[in-house]
Amino acid sequence: MTPKARIGVYPGTFDPITKGHLHIIKRASKQVDKLIVGVADNTRKGPRFSHAERLEMVKADIANMPEKYCDIEVRPIEKLLVHFAADVKASCIFRGLRAISDFDYEFQMTGMNYRIAPDIETVFLMAADKWQFVSASFVKEIHSLGGDVSEFVTPATLARLNGAK
């Protein structure tokens, strides 16, 4: 009998995907047999890129990742995260933490998710020192004001940002 595959979900808006996101994806891929990167529509955040464009960017960046430790699939999320995770038979949701402010929000969300789906664990991965200050919001703001963000995103994502300026 083969053991049940461990499936994890790493959700985000990815507007745009950053090297910090990719670092969390790499680390999460070490923990499961399959990782599903879920790209949320999340129009509340007023994304710069459409949902379809963000899906394309994430797929392209993951395809070019040099280190992956499991099968990684990219899918759209268009429903409640825990319902999405249950639909894909995930046992855990990975969340990246950069600072105390992230923890406060994530702590509350984890509590709600547990009440809705107690069988799905939330796993926090602390951002590496190099990426703790990087956020998609900062990348967008710096780029829109003419700053160089090439250190924070892949060349493919930078080209998208330059096209969307």
Rounded Cα gap, residues 61 and 72, in angstroms: 12
Predicted confidence at residue 8, as pLDDT, reads 98
Cβ burial of 10 (10 Å; 0-12, 13-18, 19+) is buried
Q: Are 17 and 59 in contact, with CB atoms under 8 Å apart?
A: no
Domain extent listing, the chain = 7-163
Q: Are 113 and 93 in contact, with CB atoms under 8 Å apart?
A: yes
pLDDT tens string 116-160 = 999 999 999 999 999 999 999 999 999 999 999 999 999 999 999
Predicted confidence at residue 105, as pLDDT, reads 86
Give every residue of the chain whose pLDDT is below 50, as ranges: 1, 165
Predicted confidence at residue 100, as pLDDT, reads 77
CATH topology of domain 7-163: Rossmann fold (3.40.50)
Predicted confidence at residue 2, as pLDDT, reads 52
Predicted confidence at residue 164, as pLDDT, reads 62
Phi-psi region of 116 (alpha: psi -120 to 50; beta: other; left: phi over 0): alpha
Does the N-terminal peptide bond of residue 47 adopt cis geometry, omega within 30 degrees of 0? Answer: no
Predicted confidence at residue 1, as pLDDT, reads 40
Q: What is the CA radius of gyration of the chain?
A: 16
Query: pTM of the full predicted structure?
Result: 0.93
Q: Rounded to 5 degrees, what are φ and ψ at 64?
A: -95, 5
